[in-house]
Structure formats: structure tokens, C-alpha cells
A and B are shown apart, each in its own frame.
Chain A
Amino acid sequence: MKIGITSMGAYVPYYRISRTTIASAWERGALKGERSIANNDEDSLTMAVEAATNCLHDVNKQSVDVLYFASTTAPYAEKSSSGLIATVCDLQTAVSTADFSNCLKAGATALQAATNAVKAQAAKQAMVVAADCRISYPKSDQEQLFGDAAAALVIGSENVIAEIEFSATVNSEIIDVWRLAGEQYVHTAEERFAIEKGYTQSMTQVIRDILRKSGLNPKDISKVVLSSPGLKENVNLAKKMGFGETQIQDSAMLQVGNCGTAQPLLMLIAALEDAKPGDRILLAAYGNGADAFIFRVTENIVRMTPANGLKRYLTTKNLFSSYNRYLSFRELVEPVQGEPFRLFPSNAAYWRDQKSILRFYGSKCNNCGTSIFPINRICDTCGSKDNYEEKRFADRQGKVFTYSVDKLAGRSDDPVVIQTVVEDDAGVRYYLLMTDYDQAEVRVGLDVEFTFRKIYEGANYINYFWKCRPVRNGGDLL
């Protein structure tokens, strides 16, 4: 039985900042390239939902029975994030969920755990989602190097696109990159120590181990995918291990940055996007030790479309013009919040209405056929009571029917709020905030899709809901 990756999905936020912009704010040298920045309504959980959505597009969700979420920046320190992601993705309630945290290789470790679950026939299809949105000290190299992104993979035994042939792991105790409980900023040890005794030592060992186990040589590998703390470490290490320039998978460090637990999986997706049947891919991910895998790409790889890949995100972007915006979007400086809603959020109401709020279901009247969002018990058109079918609308697209550009409702650093009424192809209407927009492109008739975001906070918990955003094909609107 072949076990391996059966689907994949990447996500990189719309916003980027040039490293020159960060550097000039501090009157220091700039590193090359740009990095991604999550919008102020995004966090690791919403980015994970985006990647998972891309990944699940052509997957039978009924047979996804495991969901593992890996992140060092989960929004809740106590409360399941994986369970919330599974709910938003509308997976069955009998899904086994777990959060992998604290370690930068948690994404790869979750991939190993998912593989083991399928191998042991404890799971039919296991999904792994990794996302990170890490904060580094002002003026540090890491401030320029870190990026925000997410990646998702489904592991199964049917329609495998990349079989997992071998795996290896190394544990290594070292204080090289760390953050104490309750702290916001990532600490790093002296760079030469961290790279030599941390990254290089563990990665070298795990790559040697997996090559020995597999009986393969570097020349047998089509692409070597190595996580990289900085711009060059993966290249230096790969060359030292005997891999040639063309074998080395680009780290996307110049466009995205080091996106923590998501980085090795995102790079793997990029490698698969360019792979052909028969290719062998070696993946190694670092974090207090290392995990490694060798994949054999199958003929099913042709089923993957650009929607599953990373490339489309590299050209879909909007550059911040100032460093200040990065500071306030990551809440490193505190903006004056917009006026809160006059109704206090309710844990009970949020729980009760989760089918509409989180799973994005509306109702379709069995009597007259009218569909409406959110779920209405009594049909607004014909008055039928409790006679409806629940339908999920999350995967639909629509057009802006009317909108407002409200300059009263936002917070001080991001004052403009776009409210929209959206109509989908089937005539269902939605009242949603718009996100990831350029104000100049907002118009009646604009094509939009739905995206899961933070709406507001006001009860010590995070209120997630859906927004709409312009549909983009690369840099262009649809």
C-alpha cells in the first residue's frame, strides 16, 4: 500500500513589505527581498484555514478523519485550534484533532504523525496544516527574515501524488531559538553557535540517516527541500552534503520569509508544483533536532492545479509603503480601536450559531427553494417554518451588489471599512466586510470570494467570521 501526500494547499497573505523599508526605518542595512505580513484580521489559525481550504478542494471531506495543526503562534494558549480549523473546514465531528506546538519542526513532526496514523490504519485521510506568524525584536535580522504563511497536506493511501518512502528523525537539545511562555519576541542565540551546533549539526545528521536508510545518494534526489532560518543556510548545507545547485529547492525567502513551522511544508509544495512523476524529493526540517522524509512523486501529480500551489501567491501581493503599518498590524504599537459593538459578545450565542458563523451554512427552503444566509428557521419568502435544508456556501463566489467605504467604523491605523452586500451566482445575498482590497478597485460587480477572518475582539476571546475579498488571478483581478 502506497502511503503519501494526496493533496496540498499553500497560503501566503496579500501584504508584503520590502526589507529595505524595514531597514530604512532603523537606519540599518537591508537584507535582500521582501517578506509577507498577515493582515490585521489574520492570524495563524485563519491562514491555516486558507491553506486547508486550498488543499481540500478536490478531497472527499467525509473521509478526512485526522487534522493536525502545527504552529508556534497558535492564537489560543489553551483551547484547541485544530478543532476550530476542522469545524471551519466543515469536517465531520468524528475527526481526531491535535495541536503540535512550540517547536519549529512541528509541521514536519505533524506530517510524521499523520503518516503513522494512516500507516497504522488508524486514519483514512489525515490532514496536516502548519502556519506561523512570528514576531522578532525590532531592528533584528529576524524582523526582516521572518514571514507569515501557511501550508496544508493531506496524507492518505488513495490517489497518492507523492509516496512517503522513508523517514528519519533526530532530537537535539539546544537553546538556539526560543521564546519563554508568555513572551512575544523570539530570542536567538549568537548566530554562529545557533547555525553550527543547532541547524547544521541536526540537519546533517538527519540527512545522512535518511540517505543511509534508503540506500540513496544525493544524485538520486531530484529536489532537496531544506528549511532555512535565513537567506542562504539551506543552500550552503545542501552543497556541503553533495547536492548540486539545480537540486536545491528555492526557500521563497526573498518573497515570503521564514514562516516557521509552515516553511518546510510550503517549500515542499513548491517542489511538488514543479515535479514530474518518478522524481524523488528529500525534505528535512529543523527545530531542536530535525525530521526528514523521502518522497517518490507519482503520475497522480498531474491532478494538482495552480490552485494547490505556491506560485499564484508569489505574484498576488500588495506592498506596505511604511514600516509603521507593519508595527500596528502586528499590534507592536497600539492603535485606538474602533468603537466596539454595543452588544457584548456571548460565548453561548457564538457556540449556538456556529453552523452559520464558523461553517458558513445558510438555509434553503424546501417549500419555495429560497436560499438565505445565515440559517433562518422561518423562510423570509414563503413563511415555511423549520422546513429547510442546511447548505454550506463557503466555496461559492459572488459579485458585489452594493457597498460602502466607511471611514467611521475602523480603528485608528486602518480606518476604512468596506461593507458589502454580495450576491452569488445562485442569487444568495451576504452582508460581509471586505478584506485584502485596494480601495480603488472596489466597485459594484466586483468578483469576490469568501475568506475566514478575525472580526473583532471584545470578550477576551477571538470572534472569527467570514469576509469577502476580491478574486485575484496572480496580480490581476479576475
Chain B
Amino acid sequence: MTMKDKVAIVGMGCSKFGERWGLGVADLAIESAYEAFEDAGVGPKDIEACFVGQMYAPVGGLAGAQVADALKFHNIPVLRNENWCTSGHIALIQACMAVASGAYDVVMALGVEKLKDTGYPGLGTGRGMSPVYEARRTAPGSFSLIATRYFEQYGLSLEEGKQTIGKIAVKNHQNGLLAPKAHFHKAITLEDVMKAPIIAQPLGLFDCCGNSDGSACAIITRADTARTLREDPIYVKGFGVAMDTVLPHSRPNFNWTSFDALKTSSSKAYAMAGIKSPREEIDLAEVHDCFTITEMLIYEDFGFSAPGRAKEDIDAGFFELSGGLPVNTDGGLKCFGHPVGASGLRMTYEIYKQLQYKVDNPKRQVRNVKRGLAHTFGGGPQLSAVLIAGNEKG
């Protein structure tokens, strides 16, 4: 069964991302939810179920209850999703499925994360499930395993490799300058990237995304009634979610330069959306640039570039705002930071606004857009979620 054009997004909200020391989880949820209510022209009483994406719930995983209390979502189900970096995205996909099933007509998906309350400057140590097998594992450490191997496999020197991924950082920072809600507004040069302190060799400071607080949310309804709420609903065209092993480290012959979860999640979403040639048919994409190497890997596993050929597209500026397939038009995780559970919905917010030609700064508006893709990649990394949306039916 396909989900294509079954449900529509009729309202979205996104908080300012950053070090929001003065705001708690409840405040961030309220900030994004009330923008969405206004955008959709509905109120909290219209919401029949809420799907919450949050990774680091403060008390025993009680993120759903916290959001329900904040938004006074009484007497409705509020369910939490905690699939690492894909939490928000999967909460959104669950919301879509809930409406498509006929169980509800109007639901909310809300991602919120308050990383600055954890007391740690990074995403933390120990990214997996076992304190023994994954001791001292950090996010930069995990993703630099990919970079080391990519450079080795494709014969890039450390300098060449770093320059290639460094261009992704420069691009995303350039885009982020045009996004008012981003955490970081800082133009950087390739020289800045190359000279930055190393976090986990070969990844330097500018290869890593920031650590921020934020929230974003979406209101979903049936596609056939969406236009009663607004003239320009955004239709869900397809999605794909794939879980793979938490420890690809143990898998014989695993090459570390291509991930089955990325390939599977994108190809499922393409099939549902009826996309045959993503490089041509996707007009813009928000992909998981937790680290610059991750974005490069995604170009290849998503079919935007041929295997081993992402460097050519990067060098040609293909993914820049004015390129053939603009990627991370709002600056991505690089500029928004990565409040884990919120990111998938923040990316979808950018696609939603772009498809409506309503981005908050027209300077980054992409022209002639029909279909956009949002994507998160999390955990080991082994979990990938893709959602494709469009501004027209069919």
C-alpha cells in the first residue's frame, strides 16, 4: 500500500535554535506548537493525538508526558519516539500513518530537545547500548571511522579528504547566514575549516554540528480535506525508515563507506513517491549533516552522486543554493545544531516552507520547487529515516 498523497502537512512551527539557557522543554514545545497552530488555523483542542520525538528525556523517558503537560493535551494519546537522531522524523512518520489509518483526522508530531540541560558540551560519550562494548564512544569518534575509511578507499590524502568535506561545511555555513532561526550565523572559509582544532581526526571543529536546544512540529491531516484548512497544504509523497545493526563494527566485510540503512530508506521513499531518478526529480534536500563526512556519504547512498564521485559534485557546486540540487538550504545541522529529537521536524519545516515559497528569508528561497526530501541518520550510525513531500498532488 502506498502512502503517496494520503496525508498532508497543514501547519508547521519551529523555535529559534541555539543555547536557550532560559527556556525549558515545555517552553520550546510551546514556541514551536503555537507557531504551528497559527499556521494551520487550528488550536490545541483540535489535536487528537500527539507523537513526540525526543532522545534525552529528562526523567525516565517521560518526554510525552512533559509535552502533554506543556500544551495541555489532556485526554488524548501522547506517544514518545526515541530512535536517536531519527526520533523526530519517525514521530512525524507515525503521525502520518495514524491519520492514513483513519484512526485520527488531525494529529501533531513534535520534536523537542534540551541538550543544554545535560551538562555536557557535546552529544555525550557512549552512543550505543553497551557500556562495555561501546565504552568511550562519541558521535565524532563514530563518524570519523567513516571518514578515515572513505579517504583510504578512494585514495584521498588527509589534506584532499579534509578539503573535500570542508567544502560542505563552507556551503552549509553560507546557507545558515540566511536562516534567522539558525544557532550559528558565521561565514567560514575553507582555510578556517582546515585550520580548526581537531575533534576526532580527521574531523575538525567545522566538520561537526553544534549542540543546541530547539523544537519543531507539524500538524497532519487527511489529504482530501487539507484544503479546507489552507490553500497550500504540503503532501506527503513517500517515506522510508530502515534500522540496521548498532554495531556495524562487528560485521564482516562492512566497508564503512556505504550504509544499507541509507540505501534502503531512500529507495523505499523513492518507490513510494514514484521517483526514478532522484538527482533530477528531487528539487531540494535537507540531509543529516551531523558531520560533513555524513553529508558526503548520503550524496552517494541516496543516488545524488555516483559511488566515489561525490567529490566531483562538491567541487562543481552541485549542492550549493544555486546548484542543480541544493542541499541543506537552511544551513543544516551545521548551523542549527542538533537537538536530537527536534532535527527531523526542523528539516521538514525547511522543506515545507520552501515548497510553499514562504521561507523566512527570501534570499534562500529555491525557485521552481515541486518535491523536497528531508532525512535523518542516527545512532551507531545505523538508523535512517527519509520523508519526501510535494506541493502538488500526483
Residues of A within 8 A of B (CB): 338-345, 350, 353, 357, 370-374, 376, 380-381, 401-410, 417, 419, 421, 427-431, 433, 444, 455-456, 458, 463, 465
- Beta-carbon contact of B125 and A340 below 8 Å: yes
A405 with B249, Cβ < 8 A, contacts A338-B125, A433-B136, A458-B131 known: no
- Beta-carbon contact of B252 and A371 below 8 Å: yes
- Beta-carbon contact of A341 and B125 below 8 Å: yes
10 contacts across the A-B interface (CB closer than 8 A): A340-B126, A341-B135, A405-B200, A406-B199, A409-B137, A409-B138, A417-B141, A429-B252, A456-B135, A456-B136
Q: Please, how many angstroms separate the alpha-carbon atoms of A98 and B251 in the complex?
A: 39
Q: Which of B122, B149, B253 contacts A427 (CB 8 A)?
A: B253
- Beta-carbon contact of A429 and B125 below 8 Å: no
Most buried by B among A374, A380, A419, A429: A419
- Beta-carbon contact of A407 and B252 below 8 Å: no
- B247 located at the interface, meaning its Cβ lies under 8 Å from any Cβ of chain A in the complex: yes
Q: Please, how many angstroms separate the alpha-carbon atoms of A120 and B138 in the complex?
A: 54
- Beta-carbon contact of A402 and B200 below 8 Å: no
Q: Which residue of B lies closest to A404 (CB)?
A: B144
Chain B contacts of A353 at CB under 8 A?
132
A406 with B140, Cβ < 8 A, contacts A343-B130, A401-B149, A431-B247 known: yes
Q: Which residue of B lies closest to A467 (CB)?
A: B135
Q: Which of A407, A444, A456, A458 contacts B199 (CB 8 A)?
A: A407
Chain A contacts of B135 at CB under 8 A?
341, 433, 455-456, 463, 465
A342 with B124, Cβ < 8 A, contacts A405-B201, A433-B135 known: yes
Q: How many A-B contacts are there with CB distance less than 8 Å?
A: 131
Chain A contacts of B145 at CB under 8 A?
402-404, 419, 421
Within the complex, the shortest CB–CB distance from B242 to chain A, in Å, comes to 15
A465 with B136, Cβ < 8 A, contacts A341-B126, A380-B251, A429-B252 known: no
- Beta-carbon contact of A431 and B133 below 8 Å: yes
- Beta-carbon contact of B250 and A406 below 8 Å: no
Chain A contacts of B201 at CB under 8 A?
404-407
Q: Please, how many angstroms separate the alpha-carbon atoms of A430 and B254 in the complex?
A: 12
A419 with B132, Cβ < 8 A, contacts A343-B126, A402-B149, A402-B256 known: no
- Beta-carbon contact of A339 and B252 below 8 Å: no
- Beta-carbon contact of A430 and B252 below 8 Å: no
Q: Please, how many angstroms separate the alpha-carbon atoms of A404 and B201 in the complex?
A: 6
Contact-residue bracket for chain B: 35 or more
Within the complex, the shortest CB–CB distance from A420 to chain B, in Å, comes to 8
Q: Please, how many angstroms separate the alpha-carbon atoms of A342 and B199 in the complex?
A: 20
Chain A contacts of B199 at CB under 8 A?
406-408
Q: Please, how many angstroms separate the alpha-carbon atoms of A373 and B120 in the complex?
A: 31
Q: Please, how many angstroms separate the alpha-carbon atoms of A430 and B152 in the complex?
A: 19
- B229 located at the interface, meaning its Cβ lies under 8 Å from any Cβ of chain A in the complex: no
Chain A contacts of B251 at CB under 8 A?
372, 380, 429
- Beta-carbon contact of B250 and A409 below 8 Å: no
Q: Please, how many angstroms separate the alpha-carbon atoms of A342 and B115 in the complex?
A: 14
Chain B contacts of A344 at CB under 8 A?
131
- Beta-carbon contact of A409 and B148 below 8 Å: no
Q: Please, how many angstroms separate the alpha-carbon atoms of A36 and B199 in the complex?
A: 31
Within 8 A of A (CB), among B192-212: 197-201
Q: Please, how many angstroms separate the alpha-carbon atoms of A465 and B249 in the complex?
A: 17
- Beta-carbon contact of A409 and B131 below 8 Å: no
Interface string of B374-390 (1 = CB under 8 A from A): 00000000000000000
Interface of B is mostly: loop
Q: Which residue of A lies closest to B245 (CB)?
A: A380
- B70 located at the interface, meaning its Cβ lies under 8 Å from any Cβ of chain A in the complex: no
A339 with B198, Cβ < 8 A, contacts A410-B136, A429-B250 known: no
Interface string of B271-308 (1 = CB under 8 A from A): 00000000000000000000000000000000000000
Chain B contacts of A370 at CB under 8 A?
252
Q: Please, how many angstroms separate the alpha-carbon atoms of A41 and B131 in the complex?
A: 16
- B134 located at the interface, meaning its Cβ lies under 8 Å from any Cβ of chain A in the complex: yes
- Beta-carbon contact of A404 and B126 below 8 Å: no
- B129 located at the interface, meaning its Cβ lies under 8 Å from any Cβ of chain A in the complex: yes
Q: Please, how many angstroms separate the alpha-carbon atoms of A429 and B253 in the complex?
A: 8
- Beta-carbon contact of A407 and B198 below 8 Å: yes
A407 with B200, Cβ < 8 A, contacts A421-B145, A465-B132 known: yes
Q: Which of A374, A381, A410, A456 contacts B131 (CB 8 A)?
A: A456
- Beta-carbon contact of A417 and B136 below 8 Å: yes
- Beta-carbon contact of B249 and A404 below 8 Å: no
Chain B contacts of A444 at CB under 8 A?
148-149, 152
- Beta-carbon contact of B152 and A402 below 8 Å: yes
A408 with B122, Cβ < 8 A, contacts A401-B149, A421-B145 known: yes
Q: Please, how many angstroms separate the alpha-carbon atoms of A210 and B106 in the complex?
A: 93
Q: Please, how many angstroms separate the alpha-carbon atoms of A346 and B245 in the complex?
A: 22
Chain B contacts of A463 at CB under 8 A?
131-132, 135
Chain B contacts of A421 at CB under 8 A?
145, 249, 256
Q: Given known contacts A341-B135, A373-B250, A376-B250, what 5 new A-B pairs fall within 8 Å (CB)?
A: A380-B250, A404-B140, A406-B200, A407-B201, A458-B131
Chain B contacts of A430 at CB under 8 A?
249-250
- Beta-carbon contact of B132 and A357 below 8 Å: yes
- Beta-carbon contact of A343 and B131 below 8 Å: yes
Q: Which of B131, B198, B245 contacts A345 (CB 8 A)?
A: B131
Q: Please, how many angstroms separate the alpha-carbon atoms of A342 and B126 in the complex?
A: 6
Q: Which of A376, A403, A409, A427 contacts B125 (CB 8 A)?
A: A409
Q: Please, how many angstroms separate the alpha-carbon atoms of A189 and B247 in the complex?
A: 55
Chain A contacts of B120 at CB under 8 A?
339
A339 with B124, Cβ < 8 A, contacts A373-B250, A408-B140 known: yes
Chain B contacts of A410 at CB under 8 A?
136
Q: Please, how many angstroms separate the alpha-carbon atoms of A340 and B181 in the complex?
A: 32
Within the complex, the shortest CB–CB distance from A295 to chain B, in Å, comes to 42
- Beta-carbon contact of B125 and A339 below 8 Å: yes
Q: Which residue of A lies closest to B143 (CB)?
A: A404
Q: Please, how many angstroms separate the alpha-carbon atoms of A353 and B134 in the complex?
A: 14
Q: Please, how many angstroms separate the alpha-carbon atoms of A201 and B135 in the complex?
A: 51
Chain A contacts of B253 at CB under 8 A?
427
Within 8 A of A (CB), among B120-169: 120, 122, 124-126, 129-138, 140-142, 144-146, 148-149, 152
- Beta-carbon contact of A404 and B136 below 8 Å: no
Within the complex, the shortest CB–CB distance from B253 to chain A, in Å, comes to 7
- Beta-carbon contact of A431 and B200 below 8 Å: no
Most buried by B among A381, A401, A431, A433: A431
Q: Which residue of A lies closest to B122 (CB)?
A: A408
Q: Which of B132, B140, B197 contacts A455 (CB 8 A)?
A: B132
Q: Which residue of B lies closest to A410 (CB)?
A: B136
Q: Please, how many angstroms separate the alpha-carbon atoms of A408 and B201 in the complex?
A: 11
Most buried by A among B120, B130, B140, B152: B130
Q: Which residue of B lies closest to A459 (CB)?
A: B131
- Beta-carbon contact of B256 and A343 below 8 Å: no
Within the complex, the shortest CB–CB distance from A124 to chain B, in Å, comes to 34
Q: Please, how many angstroms separate the alpha-carbon atoms of A407 and B200 in the complex?
A: 6
